[in-house]
Chain A
Protein backbone atom coordinates (compact mmCIF):
# COMPACT_ATOMS: atom_id res chain seq x y z
CA UNK A 1 0.00 0.00 0.00
CA UNK A 2 2.67 2.49 1.03
CA UNK A 3 4.76 1.61 -2.00
CA UNK A 4 1.83 2.36 -4.31
CA UNK A 5 1.34 5.81 -2.81
CA UNK A 6 5.08 6.46 -3.03
CA UNK A 7 5.08 5.50 -6.71
CA UNK A 8 2.17 7.91 -7.21
CA UNK A 9 4.29 10.58 -5.50
CA UNK A 10 7.25 9.82 -7.78
CA UNK A 11 5.09 10.04 -10.91
CA UNK A 12 3.68 13.34 -9.68
CA UNK A 13 7.18 14.64 -9.02
CA UNK A 14 8.38 13.74 -12.50
CA UNK A 15 5.34 15.44 -14.04
CA UNK A 16 5.92 18.51 -11.87
CA UNK A 17 9.54 18.73 -12.95
CA UNK A 18 9.17 18.04 -16.64
CA UNK A 19 5.93 19.76 -17.64
CA UNK A 20 6.32 22.80 -19.85
CA UNK A 21 3.27 24.66 -18.58
CA UNK A 22 4.05 26.23 -15.22
CA UNK A 23 0.45 26.14 -14.00
CA UNK A 24 0.16 22.37 -14.49
CA UNK A 25 3.56 21.98 -12.86
CA UNK A 26 2.34 23.81 -9.75
CA UNK A 27 -0.83 21.73 -9.67
CA UNK A 28 1.22 18.54 -9.94
CA UNK A 29 3.11 19.71 -6.85
CA UNK A 30 -0.28 20.00 -5.16
CA UNK A 31 -1.04 16.40 -6.11
CA UNK A 32 2.30 15.32 -4.66
CA UNK A 33 1.49 17.14 -1.43
CA UNK A 34 -1.84 15.38 -1.09
CA UNK A 35 -0.12 12.06 -1.75
CA UNK A 36 2.31 12.86 1.05
CA UNK A 37 -0.61 13.68 3.31
CA UNK A 38 -2.25 10.32 2.50
CA UNK A 39 1.06 8.66 3.32
CA UNK A 40 1.13 10.39 6.72
CA UNK A 41 -2.38 9.13 7.39
CA UNK A 42 -1.34 5.54 6.65
CA UNK A 43 1.74 5.96 8.82
CA UNK A 44 -0.50 6.74 11.82
CA UNK A 45 0.27 10.45 12.01
CA UNK A 46 -3.14 12.19 11.85
CA UNK A 47 -1.76 15.45 13.28
CA UNK A 48 0.64 15.87 10.42
CA UNK A 49 -1.86 14.68 7.83
CA UNK A 50 -4.27 17.48 8.77
CA UNK A 51 -1.50 20.08 8.79
CA UNK A 52 -0.09 18.88 5.48
CA UNK A 53 -3.47 19.08 3.70
CA UNK A 54 -4.11 22.61 4.90
CA UNK A 55 -0.59 23.88 4.31
CA UNK A 56 -0.75 22.34 0.85
CA UNK A 57 -3.86 24.36 -0.02
CA UNK A 58 -2.29 27.62 1.13
CA UNK A 59 1.04 26.98 -0.56
CA UNK A 60 -0.79 26.10 -3.78
CA UNK A 61 -2.56 29.46 -3.61
CA UNK A 62 0.75 31.27 -3.03
CA UNK A 63 2.52 29.43 -5.86
CA UNK A 64 -0.32 30.07 -8.32
CA UNK A 65 -0.32 33.70 -7.26
CA UNK A 66 3.39 33.90 -8.07
CA UNK A 67 3.09 31.97 -11.32
CA UNK A 68 0.44 34.23 -12.79
CA UNK A 69 2.80 37.21 -12.80
CA UNK A 70 4.39 36.17 -16.06
CA UNK A 71 3.46 33.97 -18.98
CA UNK A 72 3.32 30.48 -17.63
CA UNK A 73 5.53 28.73 -20.14
CA UNK A 74 8.69 27.20 -18.80
CA UNK A 75 12.00 28.46 -20.14
CA UNK A 76 13.88 25.40 -21.28
CA UNK A 77 16.69 24.85 -23.63
CA UNK A 78 16.38 21.86 -25.92
CA UNK A 79 17.13 18.45 -24.50
CA UNK A 80 20.81 17.96 -23.84
CA UNK A 81 21.65 14.26 -23.87
CA UNK A 82 24.99 14.61 -22.11
CA UNK A 83 23.58 16.65 -19.21
CA UNK A 84 20.65 14.28 -18.82
CA UNK A 85 22.89 11.22 -18.78
CA UNK A 86 25.17 12.84 -16.19
CA UNK A 87 22.16 13.66 -14.06
CA UNK A 88 20.91 10.09 -14.25
CA UNK A 89 24.33 8.69 -13.36
CA UNK A 90 24.62 10.95 -10.34
CA UNK A 91 21.08 10.05 -9.27
CA UNK A 92 22.06 6.38 -9.42
CA UNK A 93 25.23 7.04 -7.41
CA UNK A 94 23.21 8.97 -4.86
CA UNK A 95 20.76 6.10 -4.45
CA UNK A 96 23.61 3.61 -4.13
CA UNK A 97 25.18 5.67 -1.35
CA UNK A 98 21.75 5.92 0.29
CA UNK A 99 21.44 2.15 0.20
CA UNK A 100 24.89 1.83 1.77
CA UNK A 101 24.06 4.37 4.47
CA UNK A 102 20.61 3.05 5.30
CA UNK A 103 21.91 -0.45 5.95
CA UNK A 104 23.05 0.92 9.33
CA UNK A 105 19.58 2.23 10.08
CA UNK A 106 17.05 0.10 11.91
CA UNK A 107 14.77 -1.69 9.47
CA UNK A 108 11.38 -0.27 8.63
CA UNK A 109 8.84 -0.79 11.39
CA UNK A 110 11.24 -1.15 14.31
CA UNK A 111 12.10 2.37 15.44
CA UNK A 112 14.76 3.22 17.94
CA UNK A 113 12.74 4.62 20.82
CA UNK A 114 15.02 5.57 23.68
CA UNK A 115 13.45 8.91 24.53
CA UNK A 116 10.06 8.41 22.95
CA UNK A 117 9.29 5.40 25.11
CA UNK A 118 9.40 7.69 28.13
CA UNK A 119 7.16 10.25 26.41
CA UNK A 120 4.63 7.56 25.54
CA UNK A 121 4.45 5.98 28.97
CA UNK A 122 4.67 9.11 31.12
CA UNK A 123 3.13 11.73 28.82
CA UNK A 124 -0.39 11.55 30.19
CA UNK A 125 0.60 11.74 33.85
CA UNK A 126 3.30 14.37 33.30
CA UNK A 127 1.34 16.83 31.21
CA UNK A 128 -2.31 15.73 31.29
CA UNK A 129 -2.62 15.95 27.51
CA UNK A 130 -4.14 12.97 25.72
CA UNK A 131 -2.45 13.91 22.47
CA UNK A 132 1.17 12.93 23.04
CA UNK A 133 2.33 14.96 20.03
CA UNK A 134 0.84 18.09 21.60
CA UNK A 135 2.52 17.15 24.88
CA UNK A 136 5.88 16.87 23.12
CA UNK A 137 5.68 20.11 21.14
CA UNK A 138 4.22 22.27 23.89
CA UNK A 139 5.59 20.81 27.10
CA UNK A 140 8.65 18.61 26.74
CA UNK A 141 10.07 20.51 23.78
CA UNK A 142 8.34 23.86 24.01
CA UNK A 143 11.67 25.60 23.41
CA UNK A 144 11.66 24.04 19.96
CA UNK A 145 8.22 25.46 19.27
CA UNK A 146 9.33 28.89 20.47
CA UNK A 147 12.23 28.74 18.04
CA UNK A 148 9.87 27.71 15.27
CA UNK A 149 7.59 30.64 16.03
CA UNK A 150 10.58 32.96 15.85
CA UNK A 151 11.64 31.46 12.51
CA UNK A 152 8.21 32.01 11.00
CA UNK A 153 8.11 35.51 12.48
CA UNK A 154 11.43 36.30 10.81
CA UNK A 155 10.41 34.89 7.45
CA UNK A 156 7.16 36.86 7.47
CA UNK A 157 9.12 39.97 8.44
CA UNK A 158 11.55 39.35 5.58
CA UNK A 159 8.76 38.93 3.06
CA UNK A 160 7.07 42.10 4.26
CA UNK A 161 10.24 44.14 4.08
CA UNK A 162 10.89 42.83 0.58
CA UNK A 163 7.39 43.44 -0.74
CA UNK A 164 6.65 46.74 0.89
CA UNK A 165 8.31 49.38 -1.20
CA UNK A 166 6.25 52.27 0.06
CA UNK A 167 7.88 52.88 3.41
CA UNK A 168 5.99 53.46 6.57
CA UNK A 169 4.66 56.99 6.07
CA UNK A 170 1.31 55.89 4.79
CA UNK A 171 -1.45 55.25 7.29
CA UNK A 172 -3.77 52.32 7.17
CA UNK A 173 -6.74 54.16 5.60
CA UNK A 174 -4.59 55.55 2.84
CA UNK A 175 -3.35 52.07 2.10
CA UNK A 176 -6.89 50.82 1.74
CA UNK A 177 -7.81 53.63 -0.61
CA UNK A 178 -4.67 53.20 -2.62
CA UNK A 179 -5.37 49.51 -3.13
CA UNK A 180 -8.70 50.51 -4.65
CA UNK A 181 -10.38 49.12 -7.69
CA UNK A 182 -9.63 45.42 -7.84
CA UNK A 183 -10.58 44.02 -11.19
Chain B
Protein backbone atom coordinates (compact mmCIF):
# COMPACT_ATOMS: atom_id res chain seq x y z
CA UNK B 1 0.00 0.00 0.00
CA UNK B 2 2.84 2.40 0.82
CA UNK B 3 4.32 1.77 -2.62
CA UNK B 4 1.01 2.56 -4.32
CA UNK B 5 0.62 5.78 -2.37
CA UNK B 6 4.19 6.92 -3.10
CA UNK B 7 3.59 6.14 -6.75
CA UNK B 8 0.42 8.20 -6.75
CA UNK B 9 2.40 11.04 -5.15
CA UNK B 10 4.56 11.03 -8.27
CA UNK B 11 1.35 11.16 -10.34
CA UNK B 12 0.08 14.12 -8.32
CA UNK B 13 3.37 16.01 -8.72
CA UNK B 14 3.21 15.45 -12.48
CA UNK B 15 -0.37 16.71 -12.56
CA UNK B 16 0.66 19.80 -10.59
CA UNK B 17 3.47 20.43 -13.06
CA UNK B 18 1.09 20.02 -15.99
CA UNK B 19 -1.45 22.48 -14.59
CA UNK B 20 0.52 25.12 -12.73
CA UNK B 21 3.65 25.70 -14.80
CA UNK B 22 3.64 28.18 -17.65
CA UNK B 23 6.63 26.99 -19.64
CA UNK B 24 5.54 24.60 -22.42
CA UNK B 25 8.48 22.25 -21.92
CA UNK B 26 7.63 22.05 -18.22
CA UNK B 27 4.16 20.95 -19.24
CA UNK B 28 5.67 18.28 -21.47
CA UNK B 29 7.83 17.18 -18.54
CA UNK B 30 4.73 16.88 -16.37
CA UNK B 31 3.10 14.70 -19.01
CA UNK B 32 6.19 12.46 -19.16
CA UNK B 33 6.22 12.09 -15.38
CA UNK B 34 2.53 11.13 -15.32
CA UNK B 35 3.28 8.51 -17.96
CA UNK B 36 6.11 7.01 -15.89
CA UNK B 37 3.90 6.89 -12.85
CA UNK B 38 1.08 5.08 -14.63
CA UNK B 39 3.46 2.56 -16.20
CA UNK B 40 5.05 1.89 -12.83
CA UNK B 41 1.65 1.47 -11.19
CA UNK B 42 0.59 -1.21 -13.68
CA UNK B 43 3.79 -3.14 -13.12
CA UNK B 44 3.46 -2.82 -9.33
CA UNK B 45 -0.03 -4.29 -9.47
CA UNK B 46 1.24 -7.29 -11.42
CA UNK B 47 4.12 -8.11 -9.09
CA UNK B 48 4.16 -11.36 -7.17
CA UNK B 49 6.13 -11.70 -3.94
CA UNK B 50 9.46 -13.45 -4.62
CA UNK B 51 8.41 -13.83 -8.23
CA UNK B 52 10.64 -14.49 -11.20
CA UNK B 53 10.63 -12.85 -14.60
CA UNK B 54 8.10 -14.37 -17.06
CA UNK B 55 10.80 -15.84 -19.29
CA UNK B 56 11.34 -19.57 -19.38
CA UNK B 57 14.88 -20.91 -19.41
CA UNK B 58 15.78 -24.36 -20.77
CA UNK B 59 15.28 -27.14 -18.29
CA UNK B 60 12.86 -25.23 -16.13
CA UNK B 61 9.74 -27.01 -14.95
CA UNK B 62 6.76 -25.24 -16.61
CA UNK B 63 4.35 -26.07 -13.80
CA UNK B 64 6.58 -24.62 -11.09
CA UNK B 65 7.27 -21.67 -13.40
CA UNK B 66 3.60 -20.87 -13.81
CA UNK B 67 3.21 -20.76 -10.03
CA UNK B 68 6.04 -18.32 -9.30
CA UNK B 69 6.33 -16.05 -12.35
CA UNK B 70 5.03 -12.48 -12.19
CA UNK B 71 2.04 -11.34 -14.24
CA UNK B 72 3.05 -11.01 -17.94
CA UNK B 73 -0.05 -9.14 -19.10
CA UNK B 74 0.68 -5.68 -17.60
CA UNK B 75 4.26 -6.02 -18.81
CA UNK B 76 3.08 -6.57 -22.36
CA UNK B 77 0.72 -3.59 -22.19
CA UNK B 78 3.33 -1.30 -20.64
CA UNK B 79 5.93 -2.34 -23.21
CA UNK B 80 3.78 -0.92 -25.99
CA UNK B 81 2.74 2.08 -23.94
CA UNK B 82 6.36 3.16 -23.35
CA UNK B 83 7.06 3.34 -27.06
CA UNK B 84 3.76 5.15 -27.68
CA UNK B 85 4.94 7.61 -25.05
CA UNK B 86 8.04 8.32 -27.11
CA UNK B 87 5.89 8.93 -30.20
CA UNK B 88 3.59 11.32 -28.39
CA UNK B 89 6.58 13.07 -26.82
CA UNK B 90 7.96 13.67 -30.29
CA UNK B 91 4.58 14.99 -31.42
CA UNK B 92 4.43 17.34 -28.43
CA UNK B 93 7.96 18.54 -29.16
CA UNK B 94 6.96 19.24 -32.76
CA UNK B 95 3.95 21.23 -31.58
CA UNK B 96 6.05 23.28 -29.16
CA UNK B 97 8.62 24.02 -31.86
CA UNK B 98 5.82 25.23 -34.12
CA UNK B 99 4.45 27.42 -31.34
CA UNK B 100 7.90 28.85 -30.77
CA UNK B 101 8.29 29.62 -34.44
CA UNK B 102 5.00 31.46 -34.52
CA UNK B 103 5.11 33.37 -31.24
CA UNK B 104 8.84 33.42 -30.41
CA UNK B 105 8.19 32.39 -26.82
CA UNK B 106 7.60 29.27 -24.76
CA UNK B 107 5.45 31.11 -22.23
CA UNK B 108 1.90 29.80 -22.25
CA UNK B 109 0.17 32.91 -20.84
CA UNK B 110 2.17 35.10 -23.18
CA UNK B 111 0.94 33.04 -26.12
CA UNK B 112 -2.63 33.45 -24.91
CA UNK B 113 -2.17 37.21 -24.68
CA UNK B 114 -0.57 37.49 -28.12
CA UNK B 115 -3.34 35.47 -29.70
CA UNK B 116 -6.15 37.68 -28.42
Contact = CB atoms under 8 A, between A and B. Distances in A.
Given A63-B25, A108-B1, A6 B7 contact: yes
Interface residues on A, range: 35 or more
A87 B13 CA distance: 10
B44 A46 contact: no
Interface in A120-153: 120-121, 123-124, 130-133, 135-137, 141, 144-145, 148, 151-152
B47 A109 contact: yes
Residues of B contacting A: mostly: helix
Contacts of B57: 130
B6 A3 contact: yes
B84 A109 contact: no
Interface in B1-16: 1-10, 12-16
Nearest to B88: A155
Nearest to A153: B87
B69 to A, nearest CB: 5
A115 B95 CA distance: 40
Contacts of A44: 47, 51-54, 70
A102 interface: yes
Interface residues of B, number: 81
A32 B85 CA distance: 15
A111 interface: yes
Contacts, number: 246
Interface in A57-80: 58-59, 62-63, 65-67, 69-70, 74-77
A32 B73 contact: no
Contact of A116 (B73, B88, B105): B73
List the 7 shortest-distance A-B pairs measured between CB atoms, nearest first: A109-B49, A155-B87, A159-B94, A121-B66, A136-B76, A120-B66, A148-B80
Interface of B: 1-10, 12-17, 20-23, 25-26, 28-30, 32-33, 36, 39-40, 43-49, 51-58, 62-63, 65-66, 69-73, 75-80, 82-91, 93-98, 100, 105-107, 110
Interface of A: 2-3, 6-7, 9-10, 13-14, 16-17, 22, 25-26, 29, 32-33, 36, 39-40, 43-48, 51-52, 55, 58-59, 62-63, 65-67, 69-70, 74-77, 83, 87, 91, 94-95, 98-99, 102-103, 105-111, 113, 115-117, 119-121, 123-124, 130-133, 135-137, 141, 144-145, 148, 151-152, 155-156, 158-159, 162-163
26 contacts: A3-B3, A7-B6, A9-B10, A17-B13, A26-B29, A32-B36, A40-B43, A43-B70, A51-B82, A55-B83, A62-B89, A63-B89, A66-B28, A69-B100, A95-B12, A99-B5, A108-B1, A108-B44, A116-B72, A120-B72, A121-B63, A131-B55, A152-B84, A152-B87, A155-B88, A163-B98
